[in-house]
Structure 1
Amino acid sequence: MNSNSLVRTGALVAPVLLFGYGTLRLIDRADGRMDKGAWMWNTGHVLFFIAMVLLAALAIGARTRLPFHDFRNRVAANLAVVATSVGVLAFLWVIAGDLSPSLRETAPLPDALAIAGNAAFMLGLLTLLVQLVRAQKLPAWSPVAVLFAFLMIAVSLDTIPVAAILLFVGLLPLSGGRAPLSGSGPRLAHD
């Protein structure tokens, strides 16, 4: 799978899977309790797991769309991919623990690492999106929509379905090709 396919798949499918997870979570909690081990809990968490893997792939693929004219931008992009990937690994560890209580008991992820992982994921992905805006490969509103999606989830997990829609809107421009989104900007060379 080439980098454009990774980005396109992540941009289109990850938010849909997050919407499914958030919706199943709300349905599961409708009676006032979470039925851990129920099909909704497990199905929702599997959707969440796959969505996070796709977002890591999106970050890796998005980095290849960036033109680099100086060392600083290249380092920032590479660090953003590393931060996003480390954050995704933290999410995956927590999700795996939610799916397997024995894993959570034998190898729990400390709360500080989970919080740091969440922050690394969000900052890394937003950094890549801002770099794409600066390279005229993404509209300026895209990272804003993604930021609002992240903030909604941070405020309440019950907002995941709405946040997933915002994430979809924010990432949708990435589902296209490599051409600049603005007709006024020059086509930048890639290295």
Structure 2
Amino acid sequence: MTSTTRFTALAAPLLILFYGIMRFVDGLDGDRGNGPAWNIGHAAFFLAFVLMAVLAVSLRQQVPAVARWQRVVRDGALVAALVGASAFLFVTLTDLVPAIDVSLPEPLELGLPVLFQVGMLTLLGQLVAARLVPLWSPIVMLAGFLAIAVNLDALPFAAVVILAGLSPLATRSLRPVRP
């Protein structure tokens, strides 16, 4: 595993955790938005998804794909993850810069970020199939993203869960995992 994978697998969830904390701090006055905590938190979230995109590229490079169909799935998963991460980045940027008066249509704003999760889970699933990460890793990561989908106030908890799901990537080199 590369140092890029280790760094991004650790730093991205920590930045999401920081965003969740800043979101909580920003809401202490009963109003969310347009303050230092809002801006700092959103900047952290933006950076987190830049790092998530880098992580997706790094994972794609590590997925062993012998057969053509495996390469197609691997590359399709990377495209999905990058499109989804781009959607997160676009929405976050429009929150940070109110002068950007362009928004995605609501179905795209809701649907495109799901592509990130599908892509990442597919890449992680391929690493599971190659026995390079444990089966629980993508399952735990999915649980973290589901927690965010249920309630944005769960962001700090969800970030810790996502960090746990990515911990095999952050803490050791990819090597065969026992069944």
1:61 aligns with 2:58: yes
Match of 1:173 in 2: 168
Structure 2: distance between partners of 1:7 and 1:76: 20
| Residues 88-107 of structure 1 aligned to structure 2 (within 5 Å) | 88-103=85-100, 105=101, 107=102
Q: Which moved more, 1:173-182 or 1:83-92?
A: 173-182
Query: How far apart are 1:181 and its partner, in Å?
Result: 2.8
State the percentage of identical aligned residues.
Answer: 42
TM-score, normalization by structure 1: 0.89
Give the counterpart of 2:43 among 42, 46, 55.
Answer: 46
Structure 2: distance between partners of 1:80 and 1:115: 19
TM-score, normalization by structure 2: 0.95
Structure 2: distance between partners of 1:68 and 1:89: 25
Instruction: Extract structure 1 runs of 4+ deviating beyond 6 A.
Output: none
Match of 1:125 in 2: 120
Answer yes or no: is the 8 Å Cα contact 1:6–1:54 preserved in 2: no
Match of 1:22 in 2: 20
Give the counterpart of 2:149 among 154, 158, 182.
Answer: 154
Match of 2:5 in 1: 7
How big is each residue's C-alpha offset from its partner over 1:76-119, in whole Å with a ceiling of 9 and x where there is no partner?
A: 0100000000011111110110001110x2x2222122122111
- What residue identity is the alignment partner of 1:180? P
- What residue identity is the alignment partner of 2:130? A
Structure 1: distance between partners of 2:63 and 2:104: 33
How big is each residue's C-alpha offset from its partner over 1:8-67, in whole Å with a ceiling of 9 and x where there is no partner?
A: 111110010000000110111123211x22110000000000000111111110111111
- What residue identity is the alignment partner of 1:38? G
Q: Where in structure 2 are there 5+ consecutive unaligned residues?
A: none
Structure 2: distance between partners of 1:158 and 1:86: 25
SS in 2 for 1:17: helix
Number of residue pairs aligned between Structure 1 and Structure 2: 178
Q: Where in structure 1 are there 5+ consecutive unaligned residues?
A: 185-191
